[in-house]
Structure 1
């Protein structure tokens, strides 16, 4: 376990603990974090027990937590965190079979290995946004403050009953309106429904989603991705490949078969 001090350095507003039993994985994450603004890596841990000790000692704002570790795995570690305020969590995994257990934990995001820089940056922004909402709610001492903060981020009014997903959670199901989803990516046997404040994991096929999302703001741009056109901030073309840069920094590749649909939706 390496602790680098508990103070804020260089104006960093997110203090991060990295947890992975593979040193190469931690080294890669540190390299990626060097290019993420407003963060400071304050510690590293290589197993669950070490992680829990580091969380108590360092009180990080965000923990990047590998799921598959010897002994206490990432999910068990997350369930055992008993510090307040509880840090935001982002899980990293090379497998998807853990997904049903991940519903037990209110994580900001789930990243698949090898971790891409744009997805890591998006996960950090989502964790930062969640922390700000929680702090505002605590200051006001009411759930209404949290709702107001969510509305200020552009959360739309509840849509019709047809435009929604019900995703499994620890104590049942959560309603996720389609209008709250910024983009969707395939994660092997699951899909990740990305919103402003978290990602929801759902077992579904992309073809089934395409039918369900017909007539909604989300359009399919790749065999493994849907996006909301109003979330696109930039289009990049290079070597006959088109990619979209979304407002939250995520990068989504456009499949050749979906280029015409995208251009029509964007009014190009």
Structure 2
């Protein structure tokens, strides 16, 4: 099970990480201090569960959980010092609710509950794109892609640190991975899980905020309503 800790207190994160070391079958894939940082790293870390504090500066745990509601992954386990939040936590679809200081037995119990829910929703199969490197065919995992951009006769897959030419057209990719890719404009597709927000510039242009990168491609007016609806739905 892939676990990410989201808590603004470094000591709390360190203690949870230590407790997770005592839990079998657990891999800590991230430890961050706020909701924005969690969103920006989830696409690359792909956690199965967030152990999530509620009271944090910026995007707090409740707002982050609302954005992730109804997803099979990541599941949410709230971890806070305040018992009063428990009812609202379960309203947000949390699997469990841990009170600080957390005991390892209670943590293991929460992770068992998470596993039961994950078992009912198997992870989506990884999409593979077909590219060429120095003329030789290679496969590219869709999870690694930041965006796909059509440039003249080619489609370029942008990944962290490199770019690859693809054999398929944008239309073919959009049709094949309709549930995993979303169009920003006529020359650009991005993985749905990469899209974390929008920002409006002073000149009226709207740019997409993508997890795991500072690159912000422009959104066309035609596609803007669809993206806003997707973000509202989480």
TM-score between both structures, scaled by the size of structure 1: 0.44
TM-score between both structures, scaled by the size of structure 2: 0.50
Q: Which has the higher contact order (CA 8 A, sep 6+)?
A: 2
